[in-house]
Structure 1
Amino acid sequence: MVRTPYGAVRGRREDGVAVFRGIPYAAPPFGPHRFRPPVPPDPWDGARDAGAFGPTAPQPPYSEAFAEYLADPVVPGDGCLNLNVWTPQPGPAARLPVLVWLHGGALTRGSSGVPVYDGRTFARDGVVLVSVNYRLGVEGYGLFPDAPANPGLRDQLAALRWVHESIGAFGGDPGRVTLAGQSAGAISVGALIAAPQAQGLFHRAVLQSGPPEAADRDKVRRMVRRMAARLKVPATAEAFAAVDREVLLRAQAEAGRLSSPILGGPAFGIVVDGDLVPRDPLQALVEGDAAVGAELLMGWTRDEYRLWLVPGGLLERVDRLGAVALAGAMARCRCGHEVPRGYRALHPEAGTAEIVGQLVTDHLLRIPLHRLAEARPGSSYVYEFAWPSLRPGLGACHALELGFVFDTGEVPESAKLSGWGAPRELAEEMHSAWVRFAVDGDPGWQAWDTSHPVRILGDGEPRTVHGPRDGEFDLWAADAAARASAPPVPVPEDGAAGRGAELRSVVRLLRRGAVRGH
């Protein structure tokens, strides 16, 4: 039993580790609290049972195509602002390092209850693991004229404050907190690194396959307006709060069905709000404005895009479209013809789908993380996960590294992506590196410098390679320089002709193909 600021919680002993699940860090975000910043939970008397995961945030289910690869357990209930703690030694005397985990899922899906995120291996190795649920989709990232922006990110900040106040009683040291996340969780980590209100709440960070970024406010508004049109209500928080939760989720799923990382489109995201997110997080970090001045561990998988294209058969469809798909990728990435030509020269054996996927991956993930490492030499550690899944077509896809980081490859939910028989030695290598980083800020390889060291994990023996993607990054730098020096391109008077309209039609064609595949 451990006492928190709001009451005592009673956990369980499992394989020598103390586990506390479903601890509320804020009040249920419904009723008067819906679409509002989180507020503290009501205190309770006696010992609250913490043996089971708490409610998950409302979210639509994955499509059948994606559910084949990704686990997404649902726990019903209103109290979705909860967290879990795995610790080897409860009590204030331990003062162990802490790792706080933010799950991915495009800010619309996911939870801390996914079995892949089981924290027992971190606790076994002397690190207190905290995993967090937070609001998702329109509940957490809808943009309304009558409510504050980014309530889901504010949930995460509230959870960090809970950790700062409470983790000592669970054996953790509030002065040694690492904030970590993957995909949308990593995007959240990037925003919190740059958030002035998060200063002092964590001391180093891990960004896996997600860069610091701010979404275009109009893109988020378009999602809300699409939902409002389907619901036949005004695009306000007051009107949305009056809609049944399940009806709201169906409208959200329908409004977002044409959007994806490859194809773009309206989506939910963290936006600049002048408060918690005062400016674009990547720009703030590159210019040295950050809450965390210590170490960063960040990286990507070699074939991120394959999780976005393989389910539903979109990979083959993109290959068949050929030049049309490349034109759509150029529109998505806002790059000139020389960039895909350069990729063809660097990878002459690659098909169209691979070129398109790597273009978009570099644009969305690798280039922003590369910029961040360049801005923080000596304290940034970069990796590339390169082990190909045993499941056909996935390669080293997005999210595949998670079972290795948590060393949970034996659970069925990990095997959904990896297949059975993933290499134990790779899990031991990666998990140990993340533990070392949480303990002392050094995962065990060379920090970023002018030689651009990248740790390659899963392609033979772990090794450090210098500048493995510099050729691609140089293409983007040259393209940016050419665009900066080029004279403005005149826009046709009718507004319908020209390359812009043509590329928009290409992207629409690709999206229709994605819908048929899903």
Structure 2
Amino acid sequence: MTADRTGPVVRTPHGSVRGRYEQGIAVFRGIPYAAPPFGPLRFRPPRPPTPWDGVRDAGAFGPTAPKPPYSEAFAHYLSDPEIPGDACLNLNVWTPEPTPVARLPVLMWLHGGALTRGSSAVPVYEGSAFARDGVVCVSVNYRLGVEGYGLFPDAPPNPGLRDQLAALRWVHQAIDAFGGDPDRITLCGQSAGAISAGALLAAPQTQGLIRRAVLQSGPPEASDRDKVRRMVRRMAARLKIPATAEAFAAVDRRLLLSTQAEVGRLSSPVLGGPAFGIVVDGDVVPRDPFTALLDGDAAPGVELLMGWTRDEYRLWLVPGGLLERVDRLGPVALAGAMARCHAGYEVPRGYRALHPDAGTAEIVGQMVTDHLLRVPLHRLADTRPGTSYVYEFAWPSGLPKLAACHALELGFVFGTGDVPESKKLAGEGAPQELRDAMHTAWVRFVTTGEPGWEAWDAAHPIRIFGDGPPYTAYGGRDAELALWSTGPTASETAPAADFRAPGAELAAAVRRLRRSTGARRR
């Protein structure tokens, strides 16, 4: 590393970059880790960037991947900057000591956004707090939506995931020059970023590259290929083109994004529907990542920190007033949740018995949250006792109805609760003590592999970050999650009168619900 009057200079595998000192932290933004994925590289695996001579300025965030904006209802709560330009495969580094002798632990961050939105430029993900605490923080942009996760007969699957793999390889090769230890990389993501991190954990190509992993509100999973194909085919039908990468590459980029947004408008974690996702491809994803991790074939010895927010579903249901619509639909909404979760009637009955004062929307939301998140993460922890740590974020937002919703914990993890973009979701008054406790737990895990509470075992310890000091609860979700393993399946039981919904009525209700929301996983 060298420095001049304008900032630190570090040599990367493709050329030198000049960052900035910001409050004692060296910050490098917009470093290309792969070539712009357009022209002949569109819908193709990432390629190395063209090396450059001299010193490249790394003072500003690089271009973000093409993406549609959030709907007005969601933009009220979530920020998603758009930075134009083709060189969107870039990353950022925050480091306290940009010198190879430092050998500091590394956190590599994968943002959420349902694989259709988000970027490393979201202010909530600012990495200075990690750097101040001795962690080199790296955040990554990757291709999104149809550009990154479309499934075509004439192009390889999962280019967005392949981008992330290329970034991980770049970090492993280059991070020592920024003060990081390539043997202590923690891969961390939230929502779609956590799903991506789980897929990379299970990828044969990453073995030996990842020391630890953090999965926030997203389990390892592979999407059904037909579900992804339906998204592509619906877009092709609207555009009146063949469902091929060649045909999609010829469409105006803005038209492609607006078509993607319109086709994906009816998809959500609660309602299901076609959506973009990581698919088994026989290469980076040779089989379902969840199965591979459960079997112990993948990522042996990798320590895991994983968890959820208490009221994940609130971010999916509150914007646009869907929460009230679900409550009004009552039994029809419950039947829809059963279909969404492939659950028998014993499951909603069990939730009613455990939570007699809960409304329909809460029952539906918690059922879907458990089905999508808590059940798989519990199962994953069960197969890795002693090296897994589980948390629940339970502090309620200061904004009406959101409670402890999806993505609310991010400002606490990054120590960015004071930025306006965090307050869009948390409101005012987020307690500093809780911010410090949660951020410190992540720093401890990245540094030592132990976040500060006991590892998962038969007692099922879950660290609760809520009102007051954090504490450990034992088996706090066991009663609900047991319903998924002991209750009969939908095909094994007859419908009960209180949950009966005729097929036509149910189908119409689900269509009404889908029309009323643009909700997606963040």
TM-score by length of 1: 0.96
Stretches of structure 1 that go unaligned for 5 or more consecutive residues are 490-497
Match of 1:508 among 511, 515, 522: 511
Q: CA deviation at 1:406?
A: 0.3
Contact in 2 for aligned 1:95/1:172 (Cα 8 Å) = yes
Counterparts of 1:92-491 in structure 2, within 5 Å, are 92-479=100-487, 482-483=488-489, 486=492
CA contact (8 A) 1:286 1:372 kept: yes
CA–CA distance in structure 2, aligned partners of residues 262 and 108 of structure 1: 17
Give, in angstroms, the shift of residue 484 of structure 1: 10
- AA paired with 2:187? L
Q: Is the 8 A contact 2:124 2:410 kept in 1?
A: yes
Deviations along 1:392-428, whole A, 9 cap, x unmatched? 1100000000000001011000000001221000000
1:204 and 1:292 in contact (8 A); partners too: no
Please report how far the alpha carbon of residue 201 of structure 1 lies from its aligned counterpart in structure 2 after TM superposition.
1.4
User: Aligned equivalents of 2:228 and 2:386: distance in 1?
Assistant: 36
Runs of 4+ in 1 over 4 A off after TM superposition: 484-487, 498-503
CA distance in 2 between counterparts of 1:507 and 1:303 reads: 22
The structure 2 residue matched to 1:35, chosen from 12, 26, 43, is 43
> How far is the alpha carbon of 1:91 from its aligned partner?
1.0
**CA contact under 8 A between 1:203 and 1:292: conserved in structure 2?**
no
2:236 maps to a residue whose letter is: A
Count of aligned positions: 505
SS in structure 2 at match of 1:256: helix
Taking the aligned partners of 1:379 and 1:201, their CA distance within structure 2 comes to 18
Task: Quickly say closer, same or farther: Cα 1:342–1:402, change in 2 above 3 A.
Answer: same
What fraction of aligned residue pairs are identical, expressed as a percent? 78
CA distance in structure 2 between the partners assigned to 1:425 and 1:198 by the alignment: 36
CA RMSD in angstroms comes to 1.5
1:297 and 1:81, CA in 2 relative to 1: closer, same or farther beyond 3 A? Answer: same
Q: Is the 8 A contact 2:268 2:518 kept in 1?
A: no
- Aligned to 1:514, what secondary structure does the other structure show? coil
Q: Cα distance, 1:337 vs. partner? A: 0.8
Cα distance in 2 for partners of 1:204, 1:408 equals: 23
Residue type matched to 2:441 in 1? A
Q: CA deviation at 1:289?
A: 1.5
Shift of residue 485 of structure 1?
10
The 3 A distance-change label for structure 1 pair 350 and 145 is same
Give CA deviations for 1:179-210 in whole Å, capped at 9, x if unaligned.
00000000000101110011111111000000
The one-letter amino acid of 2:14's match is Y
Match of 1:11 among 19, 38, 41: 19
Cα distance between partner residues in 2 of 1:375 and 1:83: 33
Q: What CA distance in whole angstroms lies between the structure 2 residues aligned with 1:101 and 1:204?
A: 12
Per the TM alignment, residue 503 of structure 1 is displaced from its structure 2 partner at its CA by 4.2
Q: 1:307 to 1:92 in 2, by over 3 A?
A: same
Cα contact 2:342–2:489 (8 A) shared by 1: no
SS in 2 for 1:257: helix
Counterpart of 2:5? none
* Matching residue's letter, 2:219: P
Q: Choose which of 64, 68, 75 in structure 2 pairs with 1:67.
A: 75
Give the whole-Å Cα distance in 1 for the aligned partners of 2:151 and 2:115: 14
- For 1:334 and 1:503, locate their aligned partners in 2 and report how far apart those are by CA, in whole Å: 15
Query: How far apart are the structure 2 equivalents of 1:102 and 1:173?
Result: 19
Asked if residue 81 in structure 1 is aligned to residue 84 in structure 2, the reply is: no
Q: Distance in 2 between matches of 1:5 and 1:275?
A: 25
Q: C-alpha deviations, 1:59-91, integer Å up to 9, x for none? A: 000000000000000100000000000000001
Do 1:327 and 1:506's aligned partners in 2 also have CA atoms closer than 8 Å? no
Query: 1: CA distance between counterparts of 2:302 and 2:289?
Result: 16
Determine if contact 2:194/2:214 at 8 Å carries over to the other structure: yes
Assess, with a 3 A threshold, how the Cα gap between structure 1 residues 515 and 282 changes in structure 2: closer, same or farther.
closer
The secondary structure found in structure 1 opposite 2:517 is: helix
Deviations 1:28-64 (A, max 9, x none): 0000000000000000010000000000000000000
Q: Which residue of 1 aligns with 2:4?
A: none
For 1:81, the aligned partner's letter is L
Cα contact 2:320–2:516 (8 A) shared by 1: no
Deviations 1:325-378 (A, max 9, x none): 101101100101110010011011110000000000001111111110011011
Q: Equivalent residue of 1:18, what SS?
A: strand
